Amino acid sequence: MGRLDGKVALVTGAGRVPGRALAAQLVRDGAALILVDHDDDAPSGAVDLISTRAVVQALGGRVVVHDVDVVDKPLLTAAVSTSVRRFGGLDAVVVGPVVTAPCSVEATTDEAWCDALDRVLTGAWNVCRATLPHLVDGGSLTVVGTAAGLRGYAHLAHQAAAEHGVVGLVRSLAHELAPRSIRVNTVHPVADAGATPAGGLVGNLVFDPEAKVPPRFAEAGDVSETVAYLASDDARLLTGLTVPVTAGLVPR
């Protein structure tokens, strides 16, 4: 038996490598999945989402996919409602990581700043607004970010600012949803190799110049196992947490 048997989980960013790993772990633990992703700039985004569906189906999971941008709240809300009716409920929500391109403060354009806020912070807000009316009492909502949500990094001010906003949102939701026993947490890996741009690291997200020894990569499995645990009843008393998956980077 899996720790998520009989549960329905929604995962955003599921067409990318980190989101695919999250989806695969959740289905291995027994969940039926609602997968959401979209990429205006890369036509392959929808194809990647289909590939994730194939992975889930190969593992024997029930799945429905939606090519929807989390920034488009009306379309996202409609997709969630349709899927919840199909599966008969919603037990867990996982907002997948959004990683922006590194850039110095001086070189960051207003467009890049607003895009980071839209996709990281407003995207998480939209997912919350679309899913909370359907989320069962005793359910869970987990936002996966990066270590930038817990500390500052050179060349990632836009990412860090947006993720710190997400942490504030999640901590507030934990209080507001406590009467429904809905757990709300964030997960912050130091980096996921699958989340980095091709051929390079994400700014100082992976190598911390302040540390004497560079921390190891947080692999996809490290993150997905943590998320699956938080989505399960085993974590029924854990809420309002910022969980670092950082090999000790954040405390140091």
86-119 burial, b for 16+ CB within 10 Å, e for fewer?
Answer: ebeebbbbbbbbbbbbbbeeeebeeeebebbebb
Question: Can you give the pLDDT at residue 86?
Answer: 96
Q: What is the pTM of this model?
A: 0.88
pLDDT-derived band at 78 (thresholds 50, 70, 90) equals very high
Q: Which residues contact 87 (CB under 8 A, 6 or more apart)?
A: 8, 32, 34, 62, 64
Please, what are the domains in the chain?
8-245 (3.40.50.720)
Which has the higher per-residue pLDDT, 245 or 179? 179
State the pLDDT at residue 99.
81
Q: Which candidate, 210, 217, 214, places its Cα nearest to that of 195?
A: 217
Burial per residue of 164-174, b for 16 or more beta-carbon CB atoms within 10 angstroms, e otherwise: bbbbebbbebb
pLDDT of 163 strictly over 80: yes
Average pLDDT over residues 141-162: 92
Do residues 148 and 160 touch, judged by C-beta distance below 8 A?
A: yes
Q: How confident is the model at residue 246 (pLDDT cuts 50, 70, 90)?
A: confident
Instruction: Report d(CA 122, CA 187) in Å as an integer.
Output: 18
pLDDT in tens, 201-235: 333 333 344 444 344 555 667 799 999 999 999 99
Q: What is the DSSP letter of 137?
A: E
Widest CA span in the chain: 53
C-alpha separations of 141 from 41, 124, 181 in Å: 28, 10, 11
pLDDT, average across residues 136-165: 94
Specify the pLDDT at position 199: 34
